[in-house]
A and B are shown apart, each in its own frame.
Chain A
């Protein structure tokens, strides 16, 4: 099937935007202006102002002579591109590939989309009418090539929809400026009397190239469909993405759930077929009022289990505000991973690592409570206790190093070592007594010291001499002295953990 493109042309993008926000300006000529070399230059003029003969590029002072009641508003840098981007995002509901066509248009790759709306005519009408109802003066055209759609949208007089393969006939009667060429070249062509495309289309390519450069030939080829042209979508389409347009806007939770199930169904069967599983998924709803709502989930192991994914999304559905209704739903999986052939039957009884129940539990917890709540640790090659473990979020990561049992490590470790006061007989001997939070503990037995040095390439500081001590009731503590024995000075000893 051939490609089809739709070009939208906003004739007065910024002034339309201003009058949508301030309806009072609809009945009054106004212009937007920016300072340039010490004078105010008009950057956009409203329809009424244009009728009075005001052009863009005029100085405001000159325009005031023509229309004394002219309203002058400040233009904003970057307003056009911001508006175009917003409109492009809005158009995503009609096709996944929408490109910005600066300075005043949009390009939509609509191949394979219009039949969902019942044909190209209805499709185009719906887009243009919705935009006009919003208040934008817009023209649109559909053709086989970007160039032809662009030209027909701006210069076409007959029909906005060019049937497949007929773009050449439609283009021949248009002025050369419709070819998206430099205004300078267009002016020169006009001067030479080449005022219609059919006059240059028949000329020898060599002579056109020498006189007008390569650009004209390229644009000519692109418009006629002899050269390919790529457009860059505002949102790169995800490989795994499903869309669901709705006949009527959906505004109930039940409807959203049905849409979600349908999308999950198609997406998951596709992924299963490809041997993929998703790690993240985004469920989006495009609302009638142009807003977009979305819910995102993540999983700990690549999965295409519909029931599980639905459960993850289910908790987010109440947070989606349908407003006046949702027209189009999309579900995309930006991050996917290969999944092995499912081995559920083999692992069913083992209760092992690869069981699928566990990742699903973890997903449920981290989606409800937050992603940073579930931890799994693997050993890390550090003696410093706080750094001896690394958190990993993957269930498949196997501990590379062995867990060491040669050194005693407490079962409870305090997040911050708590200062204690001790009585030690000789330096480097374990203490006899220590006082922690007002309680006095008499030490009966002790093991140590185990000196742990700071890793200077990570952090500077004192080394620690750790002792494992037991008081008279059998409670075991892990205490340390920070640095060498100094004889004086408090807060040198700390309690860092409890042994079982």
Chain B
């Protein structure tokens, strides 16, 4: 029985590799996402892949920017540079510092139209030595996402697409689809102030993984998973009950 299990696991790993999600090479950045790791294939955050973040309302964009900044700081931990491509940028560089990203290590590319963002983002994703590329786009269709995914499979750059108020959520080739929303801050009862930021992270699509939702905070320069509860089962239940 266990032999069969082993074979199945091995075959699954091989299939994963064929599908473009490789386990991190030694010496490469590895992102520890605590309980969220169980949702990912190989139990590691997919590096060298395209992630999309859906932000239906403007405040969600800020929450997403904070969460992505946290991810970027992890991706940049071995040194490296991040490129932030957007049209009509609202990100305030000093605000990234609290999430462990040195703002002078982020190159902001400010375009006028979304079409320009598309081109620049693809060029940046092909640039091998970048730690991450963040792009602010409204739509991410099949063609574009497939091009991006092919580019990052070559270059091993992690691409994060922040989709601001998307009109349609068509299927695309991105590896993961996230929804980040605000939650009341992390703070003890009867304490003054607003506390540490806290978000509800919903992973609604993950290729070869398990979708779920978690509560994640940011405290002392790292993600705070204390309150996180894996709600994979919850999700399954939801599905069953309709």
Given contact pairs A403-B103, A409-B94, A411-B95, A351 touches B184 in the complex (Cβ within 8 A): no
Q: B102 contacts which of A403, A412, A500 (Cβ < 8 Å)? A: A403
B93 within 8 A of A: yes
Would you call A399 and B109 a contact (CB within 8 A)? no
Min CB distance, A382 to chain B, in Å?
11
Number of interface residues of B (CB under 8 A): 59
A486 within 8 A of B: no
Would you call B97 and A470 a contact (CB within 8 A)? no
Q: B62 contacts which of A349, A376, A412, A468 (Cβ < 8 Å)? A: A412
Would you call B95 and A409 a contact (CB within 8 A)? yes
Would you call B79 and A500 a contact (CB within 8 A)? no
Min CB distance, A343 to chain B, in Å?
14
A369, B96: Cα distance in complex, Å: 26
Would you call A369 and B111 a contact (CB within 8 A)? yes
Would you call A500 and B97 a contact (CB within 8 A)? no
A375 within 8 A of B: yes
Q: Which residue of B lies closest to A395 (CB)?
A: B107
Q: A474 contacts which of B83, B131, B183 (Cβ < 8 Å)? A: B183
Would you call A352 and B194 a contact (CB within 8 A)? no
Give residues of chain B (11-42) contacting chain A, Cβ–Cβ below 8 Å: 27
Given contact pairs A474-B198, A499-B197, A351 touches B81 in the complex (Cβ within 8 A): yes
Residues of B within 8 A of A498 (CB): 58-59, 61-62
Given contact pairs A469-B194, A474-B182, A500 touches B99 in the complex (Cβ within 8 A): yes
Q: Which residue of B lies closest to A356 (CB)?
A: B129
A234 within 8 A of B: no
Min CB distance, B48 to chain A, in Å?
13
Give residues of chain A (268-308) contacting chain B, Cβ–Cβ below 8 Å: none
Give residues of chain A (343-380) contacting chain B, Cβ–Cβ below 8 Å: 349-353, 355, 357-358, 360-362, 364-365, 368-369, 373-379
Would you call B65 and A500 a contact (CB within 8 A)? yes
Interface size class of A (residues with CB under 8 A): 35 or more
Would you call A409 and B108 a contact (CB within 8 A)? no
Q: Which residue of A lies closest to B59 (CB)?
A: A475
Would you call B194 and A411 a contact (CB within 8 A)? no
A409, B69: Cα distance in complex, Å: 14
A352, B69: Cα distance in complex, Å: 18
Min CB distance, A70 to chain B, in Å?
60
Would you call B102 and A377 a contact (CB within 8 A)? no
A389, B106: Cα distance in complex, Å: 13
Given contact pairs A411-B91, A412-B62, A413-B92, A378 touches B104 in the complex (Cβ within 8 A): yes
Would you call B91 and A412 a contact (CB within 8 A)? yes
Q: Mark B127-141, 1 if CB is under 8 A from A, else 0.
A: 111110000000000
A24 within 8 A of B: no
A399, B93: Cα distance in complex, Å: 13
Would you call A411 and B96 a contact (CB within 8 A)? yes
Would you call A385 and B80 a contact (CB within 8 A)? no
B234 within 8 A of A: no
Would you call A358 and B130 a contact (CB within 8 A)? yes
A124, B123: Cα distance in complex, Å: 51
Min CB distance, A59 to chain B, in Å?
63
Min CB distance, A495 to chain B, in Å?
11
Q: A389 contacts which of B93, B181, B185 (Cβ < 8 Å)? A: B93
Q: Mark B57-98, 1 if CB is under 8 A from A, else 0.
A: 011011101110100000000111101000000111111111
Interface segment out of the listed A44-52, A89-97, A111-119, A441-449:
A441-449
Residues of A within 8 A of B104 (CB): 376-379, 398-399, 403
Min CB distance, A429 to chain B, in Å?
12
Would you call B193 and A413 a contact (CB within 8 A)? no
Min CB distance, B121 to chain A, in Å?
10
Residues of B within 8 A of A352 (CB): 79-81, 129
A497 within 8 A of B: yes
Given contact pairs A351-B130, A375-B107, A377-B108, A413 touches B90 in the complex (Cβ within 8 A): yes
Would you call B92 and A351 a contact (CB within 8 A)? no
A398, B69: Cα distance in complex, Å: 21
Would you call B94 and A389 a contact (CB within 8 A)? yes
A-B contact count (CB 8 A): 174
Residues of B within 8 A of A349 (CB): 27
A246 within 8 A of B: no
Would you call B120 and A473 a contact (CB within 8 A)? no
Q: Which residue of B lies closest to A385 (CB)?
A: B92
Which of B78, B131, B194: most chain A CB closer than 10 A?
Answer: B194
Which of A349, A355, A411: most chain B CB closer than 10 A?
Answer: A411
A368, B199: Cα distance in complex, Å: 38
Q: A351 contacts which of B59, B97, B131 (Cβ < 8 Å)? A: B131
B9 within 8 A of A: no
Residues of B within 8 A of A360 (CB): 127
A365, B127: Cα distance in complex, Å: 12
B166 within 8 A of A: no
Residues of B within 8 A of A122 (CB): none
Min CB distance, A312 to chain B, in Å?
13
Would you call A351 and B95 a contact (CB within 8 A)? no
A404 within 8 A of B: yes
Residues of B within 8 A of A361 (CB): 83, 123-124, 127
Residues of A within 8 A of B108 (CB): 374-377
Q: Which residue of A lies closest to B61 (CB)?
A: A412
Residues of A within 8 A of B183 (CB): 474
Would you call B110 and A373 a contact (CB within 8 A)? yes
Would you call A500 and B78 a contact (CB within 8 A)? no
Given contact pairs A351-B129, A500-B67, A411 touches B195 in the complex (Cβ within 8 A): no
Given contact pairs A357-B128, A374-B107, A445-B193, A474 touches B97 in the complex (Cβ within 8 A): no
- What are 14 sample pairs from A and B whose C-beta atoms fall under 8 A apart? A351-B128, A352-B81, A353-B81, A357-B129, A358-B81, A375-B107, A377-B104, A379-B94, A389-B93, A408-B98, A410-B62, A412-B92, A446-B193, A498-B61
Q: B: which residues have CB within 8 A of A?
A: 27, 58-59, 61-63, 65-67, 69, 78-81, 83, 90-99, 102-111, 116, 119-120, 123-124, 127-131, 181-185, 187, 192-195, 197-199, 218
- Beyond contacts A375-B109, A413-B92: 10 other A-B pairs, Cβ-Cβ < 8 A, are A358-B127, A374-B108, A375-B110, A399-B102, A409-B95, A409-B97, A412-B62, A445-B194, A476-B185, A500-B95
Q: A: which residues have CB within 8 A of B?
A: 349-353, 355, 357-358, 360-362, 364-365, 368-369, 373-379, 385, 388-389, 398-399, 403-405, 408-415, 444-447, 468-470, 473-476, 497-500
